[in-house]
Structure 1
Amino acid sequence: MDAFSQQRFGVRLEWGLSAVEGLASEADCIVIIDVISFSTCVSLAVDKGARIYPWPWKDDSARQYAMKIGAQAASPDRRFSGEGYSLSPVSIQNIREGESLVLPSPNGSAISFRARETGKPVFTGCLRNMTATANACRRFDRILLIPCGERWPDGSLRPAVEDYAAAGGIIAAMGRQDYSPEAQAAVAVWQYYQAQNLQPLGECASALELQQRGFDADTVLCLQVDTAKQACRLKGEFYASAVA
């Protein structure tokens, strides 16, 4: 795997769950990026002083796990009306300080769950906490950024440009120069969209999917830049403020 490890560079980038398997052992910290919508939900909750417990399975096991730890379980179906929370960022906006929420997600949660097993510091980043995430990671020498992407119906990885752009924005905010070609390409993507005020990201596949399902307000929240001041770090089983 040496050819794929990017070990000559301090800042590295690779996609999805396989990045944890192949590159995490040689990283000092891991940044998981799932803009639409896991990482945005975590950021919103952490800003409110809540805890988010990632859970990789969207089935009744999330409810059982929540009962075991004395938390609430988010609905596996996206919604922002009715009671409770879901993977909709709008549903997370009014979460209360001190609440604990189990958040099922097949991408951000699943990769967080696996990254936790490495014993490395794990962060989750998005557009809204881009600079805060960069600041929290700056002290680490070897940083692995993992844009999660989405899934095709057959389960294969669908690279998601919003995750790639956010990864590039985090890298750019670090102000370092020792990034791999893979990381450098993400910075170029970020700079391209930044020059257009991120307008094209409102028409990317993930955003259009939400809009077609009536979740336009989620898209707006997910594409906000640097509206959060907290970096989100995995502390044992839950995400909380990196400085708490």
Structure 2
Amino acid sequence: MTVSFGWGPVAARALAPSAACVVVVDVLSFTTAVGVAVEGGAAVYPYRWRDATAEAYAQQQNAVLAVGRSEATATHPWTLSAAALRAAPMPPRLVLPSPNGSTIAAAAADTTVVAASLRNHSAVARWLTDRGYGSAGRPLAVIASGERWPDGSLRPALEDLLGAGAVLAGLVGPHTLTPEATAAATLWSATEDPVAALHGCDSGRELYEYGFPQDVAVAAEVDSSTAVPVLVDGAFQEAP
């Protein structure tokens, strides 16, 4: 099989060694935030945890460290919130901690890593097709990040399944998809209103409850972006 699909960091570690490219999908909110930041001209450094080590890492990279949504201030507005990033002055270098999307990017860092969301799924699919990813010579793995249950275990997330399926459904050419990848693509094609699904899914409702409905709205801007963030030297940058 030349195109595979999996869930979370464990799948990334298992699939990345045999893949020429890994696509990370974390719609709410890591890869959506990465896309917004890259569009604004930032190089985005993924980092697994938001703690003292993240602060040290940001200093090493001469970068601004994104804080938790509730910790944002007028003088430090950079967070994982895509809406907040869009409204903030964009720094040239941004460290963006995320236990899901960033961890997957780190697990696949030895190969080409692309950040995809609903905002740029068609652009990503075109970029992959143009470069021959998903062929026998350049196998492709698409990883849905999912969320976490309170015990730390993976919670499959509809928004990431839809985002992964959108990329998979957009691939053009002779690809051999695993049954899991085919199922994800089929779900996307069969979803009549992905925007409503995003607002109504568990993760979307959680962001509403936390007071960040605008982040769901940004993530639901389907096909609004042509930016393809690619991990280069530790940072996501817009592909030429």
Tell me the residue number matched to 1:108. Answer: 101
Out of 9, 12, 15, the residue aligned to residue 20 of structure 1 is 12
- Equivalent residue runs for 1:82-231 within 5 Å: 82=74, 83-96=76-89, 99-116=92-109, 119-138=110-129, 139-140=132-133, 141=135, 142-176=139-173, 177-193=175-191, 195-231=192-228
Q: Deviations over 1:85-131 (max 9, x none)?
A: 01111111045566100001100111111211xx2111010000101
Question: Is the 1:76–1:86 Cα contact (8 Å) retained in structure 2?
Answer: yes
Q: 1:182 to 1:48 in 2, by over 3 A?
A: same
- Single out whichever of 79-88 and 54-63 deviates more from structure 2: 79-88
Amino acid at match of 2:104: I
Give the SS at the match of 1:103.
strand
Amino acid at match of 1:105: S
Matched, 1:238 2:235: yes
- Equivalent residue runs for 1:37-52 within 5 Å: 37-52=29-44
Amino acid at match of 2:184: A
Q: Percent identity?
A: 36
Amino acid at match of 1:84: P
Matched, 1:35 2:33: no
CA distance in 1, matches of 2:52, 2:177: 41
Cα displacement (A) at 1:192: 2.4
Question: Is the 1:79–1:91 Cα contact (8 Å) retained in structure 2?
Answer: no
Q: 1:173 to 1:81 in 2, by over 3 A?
A: farther
Q: 1:237 to 1:185 in 2, by over 3 A?
A: same
The runs of 5 or more residues in structure 2 that have no matched partner are none
CA distance in 2, matches of 1:236, 1:196: 37
The runs of 5 or more residues in structure 1 that have no matched partner are 1-8
Matched, 1:69 2:66: no
Cα displacement (A) at 1:64: 1.3
CA distance in 2, matches of 1:173, 1:123: 15
Amino acid at match of 1:23: L
CA distance in 2, matches of 1:95, 1:49: 12
Question: Is the 1:33–1:166 Cα contact (8 Å) retained in structure 2?
Answer: yes
Question: Is the 1:59–1:76 Cα contact (8 Å) retained in structure 2?
Answer: no
Amino acid at match of 1:181: P
CA distance in 2, matches of 1:220, 1:94: 14
Cα RMSD after superposing both structures: 1.6
Tell me the residue number matched to 1:5. Answer: none
Question: Is the 2:198–2:216 Cα contact (8 Å) retained in structure 1?
Answer: no
CA distance in 1, matches of 2:13, 2:57: 25
TM-score, normalised via structure 2 length: 0.92
Q: Deviations over 1:48-94 (max 9, x none)?
A: 11111000012121111111111100003456663320111111104
Question: Is the 1:130–1:226 Cα contact (8 Å) retained in structure 2?
Answer: yes
Give the SS at the match of 2:181.
helix
Out of 49, 52, 62, the residue aligned to residue 60 of structure 1 is 52
- Single out whichever of 91-100 and 170-179 deviates more from structure 2: 91-100
